A and B are shown apart, each in its own frame.
Chain A
Amino acid sequence: MTDMSYTTSTSGKGVGKIALRWGLYIMLGLFALFYLMPLFVMLTTSLKSLEEIRTGDLISLPREVTLDAWRTAWSGACTGIQCEGVRPYFWNSVLIAIPAVMISTLIGALNGYVVAQWRFKGANLFFALMLFGCFIPFQVVLLPMARMLGLMGLAGTIPGLIFVHVIYGLGFTTLFFRNYYVSIPAELTKAAKVDGAGFFRVFWSIFLPLSLPIIVVTVIWQFTQIWNDFLFGVSFSQAGTQPVTVALNNIVNSTTGVKAYNVDMAAAIIAALPTLLVYVVAGKYFVRGLTAGSVKG
């Protein structure tokens, strides 16, 4: 009798454990589906013809797959009076994002290196002020920045937008690099100084080679911020220099007559693709870089 009850109770426990595990999986699966739903709708809609969208169901699969909407979105959709699709604006975004990411990451790395390893009088205050920059709402700086860009002769240009993004990225990039470098033992810098290395030599030969994880984090962060930015893009650009986010808005909002949902969806996916790609390629470093940091030397 006792043996029997003992067996039942353990197997009962086992079943409970498995049920719990499966319950968890199912719940997580449902959450994933829920979050993937909009993407699914976007993707299927972008592959349907307008005819089918009007007659069919929002979440049904396309009866006939067509890439027409993608073609139009890329090179034919009208943004106001021009009908060139998102292509030119996509390249504008590339021209803005890549230099802005590179410059802000590099300067952030140098800033972080100084604040963490070459302490100077007022270093803490300097860092606190840099941090403060992370919390300034962008709307507040629109007018002063417009004036600044005007004075610098950069209003409405791509270099102007790069400048704005570099300035507003520095708070974050400095924070990232500072927190990473602060965990690197100060003795490393001291050893290099005794070895005869100067400020840049130490940075270049010792700190940069250690920085891959945090560079990846910063690049992902900055690229996402800059690529997805709309406010600066719409405020500080003019006809030929608008980034893809602004173009997307114009395509969606300035159509007349029938709303081409499939084109809108395709354009939106195109606009989102690069950030998605960056996450997929470098995503695993993102988590690693945020948690890692201590260097055992």
Chain B
Amino acid sequence: MAPILEINNLFKNYGSTEILKDINVAIEHGDFLVLVGPSGCGKSTLLNCIAGLEPITSGKMAIDGQDMTKVSPKDRDIAMVFQSYALYPTMTVAKNITFGMKVRGIDQATQDEKLAYVAQQLQIEPLLKRKPGQLSGGQRQRVAMGRALVRDPKLFLFDEPLSNLDAKLRVEMRTEIKALHQRLGASMVYVTHDQIEAMTLATKIVVLKGGIIQQIGTPAEIYNRPANLFVADFMGSPAMNLIPAKTRSNGNGIEIEIARKNHDPIVLTDTQNKDLPENVILGVRPEDIADAAHSRVDKTQEADCVIDIVEPAGADTFAVMQLGGKHVTARLHSETSATAGTKQRLAFDLAKVSYFEPETGLRLN
């Protein structure tokens, strides 16, 4: 079976400004692709290109094996949910949902049947006669989803659909979208700047920056093996600790030396990697720095660190310290004995460590 969406060598310019550079992505039927990146990275433009709302400058795009590069949006068999919901303000909810079918000349009985089904799926039956202006943000969001669902398209496109909702509703709707994806088995492309949304929803993530794909992979790949410093810093909350360090080879691996102000450097041993340049950026996730007392890591990987700030966050407590001239965050047990200004014995788990080249920012291991 052909991939549901295949983009090859896509370029997009506005005048002389390059918005998207050499985009290559393919997803399979049932995939949930999330395009994530900071604002202005071109992710919404890419989605608009997939929808056909923006012409592409060069490259090719196919949906379900059919070339769609120059096909108009209405013939691409897609449905889209917009950030502002874009409900038609003068139409009732029911008319909003059936507008697409009406335009396509689908008979009234089928329209009614599909409307009823979608309304029931999204629990918006009591709202059908209302106008968008009379709905709350969450309700509008549901109607916008309904308008997309009722079409039963090959590909669903979502353009930051949750960013206008309050924090609580956002988490609820996120779960609902995920449930919907699992129930329908539909193929979806989803744009967000929220890396948590990306991690929770995606089966495949594309990280974009400045119109260039930084990394494509499953959420686990992106999280555990970020391709460069940007991805490492962007994905994960709190962000990955990126610590300047020196390496030297020893018998069965490498020794990593992290300088500290007013203290001896920390020296750790990594037995999984070798042959690294002398100067590297060490990438360690906060959860890989733990209280020595609660850690299963080898004793040699422990060090006493002076904690500057302690931030209890309920389930975990975050401790911030200075290592290699950077703020480094450790995710400690909620019942940790760490207090600000005192020394704490911490264990460094290097099983998932990342190394980056300081100049280019590229991953080394």
- A residues adjacent to B (C-beta < 8 A): 185, 187-188, 190-198, 201, 205-206, 209-210, 295-297
Say yes or no: A195-B147 contact (C-beta < 8 A), given A187-B83, A190-B53. yes
Closest CB of chain B to A199's CB: distance in Å? 11
Say yes or no: A297-B132 contact (C-beta < 8 A), given A192-B88, A194-B51. yes
Contact indicator B90/A190 (Cβ below 8 Å) = no
Contact indicator A209/B90 (Cβ below 8 Å) = yes
Interface assignment of B103: CB less than 8 Å from any CB of chain A: yes
Chain A interface SS verdict (over half): helix
Known: A194-B74, A195-B74. 10 other contacts (CB 8 A): A187-B82, A190-B48, A191-B80, A191-B88, A192-B88, A193-B73, A194-B100, A209-B90, A297-B89, A297-B132
Contact indicator B82/A190 (Cβ below 8 Å) = yes
A296 proximity list for chain B (CB < 8 A)? 89, 133
For B74, give the chain A residue with the smallest CB separation.
A196
Which A-B residue pairs are the 5 nearest by beta carbons? A195-B100, A196-B74, A187-B86, A209-B90, A191-B86
A205 proximity list for chain B (CB < 8 A)? 88, 99
Interface assignment of B87: CB less than 8 Å from any CB of chain A: yes
Closest CB of chain B to A114's CB: distance in Å? 17
For B153, give the chain A residue with the smallest CB separation.
A194
B88 proximity list for chain A (CB < 8 A)? 188, 191-192, 205-206, 297
A195 proximity list for chain B (CB < 8 A)? 74, 99-100, 103, 147, 151
Say yes or no: A196-B103 contact (C-beta < 8 A), given A185-B84, A190-B80, A297-B84. yes
Closest CB of chain A to B183's CB: distance in Å? 22
Query: Contact partner of A191 among B48, B82, B133, CB < 8 A?
Result: B82
Within 8 A of A (CB), among B80-106: 80, 82-91, 99-100, 103-104
* Interchain residue pairs with CB less than 8 A apart (8): A187-B84, A190-B73, A191-B82, A191-B86, A191-B87, A191-B147, A193-B74, A205-B99
Interface assignment of B35: CB less than 8 Å from any CB of chain A: no
B100 proximity list for chain A (CB < 8 A)? 194-196
For A197, give the chain B residue with the smallest CB separation.
B103
- B residues adjacent to A (C-beta < 8 A): 48, 51, 53, 72-74, 78-80, 82-91, 99-100, 103-104, 132-133, 147, 151
| Complex-state Cα separation, A191 to B80, whole angstroms | 7
Closest CB of chain B to A223's CB: distance in Å? 25
B84 proximity list for chain A (CB < 8 A)? 185, 187, 297
Closest CB of chain A to B80's CB: distance in Å? 5
| Complex-state Cα separation, A46 to B272, whole angstroms | 106
Contact indicator A188/B73 (Cβ below 8 Å) = no
A194 proximity list for chain B (CB < 8 A)? 51, 53, 73-74, 78-80, 100
Closest CB of chain A to B134's CB: distance in Å? 11
| Complex-state Cα separation, A206 to B73, whole angstroms | 18
Contact indicator A193/B133 (Cβ below 8 Å) = no
Contact indicator B73/A297 (Cβ below 8 Å) = no
Closest CB of chain B to A94's CB: distance in Å? 31
Contact indicator A297/B87 (Cβ below 8 Å) = yes
B53 proximity list for chain A (CB < 8 A)? 190, 193-194
A206 proximity list for chain B (CB < 8 A)? 88, 90
Contact indicator A192/B99 (Cβ below 8 Å) = yes
A192 proximity list for chain B (CB < 8 A)? 88, 99
Closest CB of chain B to A257's CB: distance in Å? 61
| Complex-state Cα separation, A205 to B103, whole angstroms | 10
A190 proximity list for chain B (CB < 8 A)? 48, 51, 53, 73, 80, 82, 86
Query: Contact partner of A297 among B74, B78, B79, B86, CB < 8 A?
Result: B86
Q: Which of A188, A190, A195 has the most CB of B within 10 A?
A: A195
Closest CB of chain B to A59's CB: distance in Å? 51
| Complex-state Cα separation, A205 to B89, whole angstroms | 11
For A193, give the chain B residue with the smallest CB separation.
B73
| Complex-state Cα separation, A297 to B103, whole angstroms | 20
Contact indicator B90/A210 (Cβ below 8 Å) = yes
| Complex-state Cα separation, A193 to B54, whole angstroms | 12
Closest CB of chain A to B136's CB: distance in Å? 13
| Complex-state Cα separation, A228 to B88, whole angstroms | 38
A187 proximity list for chain B (CB < 8 A)? 82-84, 86
B87 proximity list for chain A (CB < 8 A)? 191, 297
| Complex-state Cα separation, A295 to B151, whole angstroms | 26
B48 proximity list for chain A (CB < 8 A)? 190
B83 proximity list for chain A (CB < 8 A)? 187
B103 proximity list for chain A (CB < 8 A)? 195-197, 201
